[in-house]
A and B are shown apart, each in its own frame.
Chain A
Amino acid sequence: MNQEPTASLEPSHDKAPGIGEDAAPESFLAYTAGLVFALLLTGASFFVAQSHLIWGPGVPVGLAVLAIAQMGVHLVFFLQLSTGPDNTNNVLALAFGVLIVTLVVSGSLWIMAHLNANMMPPSAIMEMRAK
């Protein structure tokens, strides 16, 4: 069977990232909308990082949320990942990747923080207790 790129000739029920119903206007709109959203989120990130409108200790969390949102925009609009049944494999693979990343990052931070504290010389521990 002729393997044309247009998805409407695909016999199977699965999709892969970026391969979907690429009808002409819709994909262009998807990319452009993704660009616009990504620009907005980038602008918001820089604004949050530099302005004094946000409470100081909340800024890193705000930046993290904006970053995750922008990664989501990239996944949905550029990589055309969706939660439809034909995208289940892709979403599952992504979820597994996110799980491993979370374990690696949070596990490293946790372990290193404990190692750091446990290796403190006794004088420093006394100082910390005194504070």
Chain B
Amino acid sequence: MSTPAAGVGTSASPGTSREEESVRIRAAGPASVRIVVAYGFWIFLLSDIIMFSALFAAYAVLSGQTAGGPTAQELFDIRRAGAETLCLLFSSYACGLGELCIHRRRMGGFYAFFAATLVLGCAFLALEFNEFASLVARGAGPSRSAFLSAFFSLVGLHGAHVTIGLVWLLFMVAQVAAQGRKDFVLRRLHCFSLFWHALDIVWIALLTLVYLIGAR
């Protein structure tokens, strides 16, 4: 291990040199479980986003292949997309505030904000299901054209993520109620909130590409 007296590195401040700092960090050992878990989940989320990007690429390639059927301009309602966006955005906000509440032991606030997250997430799913049902009823289902297959795959995958997220939310609220603020419960709750924020990020890309650019 190099020592400060070896004079290898440059040090800007007279207090601690780079070597001292790195020695101190190395001696502190690996990061805490909480940080390792969150970092690992972050890497998983990035891999999930890569999976979404493959479907985004498929949609971008196939968005013009309407096989003589209905096009994006004819099918998509921009106001419904706006309502879905607001639902997800506010549910992300509520999730964040709920996590703040549980860290400060405000359990009433935690349950209230997570109830709001659930309600807004369900509202989003209801709007999306409504849209899918009306598209299928108009003969614009996923088998109508390559464009529609790509649309249903991409938006459907996001909706499936939201659905699984809401099931996870119910499990987490039940765990908090049953187990209290134990360490592992808080770690899982934090992973859920990371997941929920990431779904909102994917929705931003989806909204822009499919509804705003595609439906012009």
A interface residues (Cβ-Cβ under 8 A, vs B): 3, 5-6, 10-19, 22, 24, 27-28, 31-32, 34-35, 38-39, 42, 45-46, 48-50, 59-60, 63-64, 66-67, 70-71, 74-75, 78-79, 89-90, 93-94, 96-97, 100-101, 104-105, 107-109, 112
- Is the beta-carbon distance between A105 and B56 smaller than 8 angstroms? yes
Q: How far is the CA of A126 from the CA of B41 in the complex (A)?
A: 53
Q: How far is the CA of A71 from the CA of B208 in the complex (A)?
A: 11
Chain B's closest residue to A69 (CB) is B204
- Is the beta-carbon distance between A94 and B46 smaller than 8 angstroms? yes
Chain A's closest residue to B102 (CB) is A5
B94 vs chain A, min Cβ distance (A): 10
Known: A16-B38, A101-B50. A3 touches B31 (CB 8 A): no
A-B contact pairs, 14 of them (CB 8 A): A11-B28, A11-B32, A13-B25, A13-B28, A45-B212, A63-B213, A64-B213, A70-B204, A74-B92, A74-B200, A75-B201, A97-B49, A105-B56, A108-B61
Chain A residues whose CB sits within 8 angstroms of the CB of B99 once the complex forms: 18
Interface SS of chain A? helix
B interface residues (Cβ-Cβ under 8 A, vs A): 25, 28-39, 42-43, 46-47, 49-50, 53-54, 56-58, 60-61, 78, 82, 85-86, 89-90, 92-93, 96-97, 99-100, 103-104, 183, 186, 190, 193-194, 197, 200-201, 204-205, 207-208, 212-213, 216
Chain B residues whose CB sits within 8 angstroms of the CB of A108 once the complex forms: 54, 57-58, 60-61
Chain B residues whose CB sits within 8 angstroms of the CB of A90 once the complex forms: 39, 42
- Is the beta-carbon distance between A18 and B38 smaller than 8 angstroms? yes
Chain B residues whose CB sits within 8 angstroms of the CB of A50 once the complex forms: 78
Chain B residues whose CB sits within 8 angstroms of the CB of A38 once the complex forms: 89
Give 17 A-B pairs besides A16-B36, A78-B96 with Cβ atoms closer than 8 angstroms: A12-B32, A18-B197, A42-B82, A42-B86, A64-B208, A66-B208, A67-B207, A70-B204, A71-B201, A74-B197, A74-B204, A90-B39, A90-B42, A101-B49, A104-B57, A105-B60, A108-B54
B154 vs chain A, min Cβ distance (A): 12
- Is the beta-carbon distance between B28 and A12 smaller than 8 angstroms? yes
Chain A residues whose CB sits within 8 angstroms of the CB of B100 once the complex forms: 22, 24, 27-28, 31
Chain A residues whose CB sits within 8 angstroms of the CB of B33 once the complex forms: 3
Known: A16-B35, A16-B39, A108-B58. A100 touches B50 (CB 8 A): yes
Chain B residues whose CB sits within 8 angstroms of the CB of A45 once the complex forms: 207-208, 212
Most buried by B among A5, A75, A89: A5
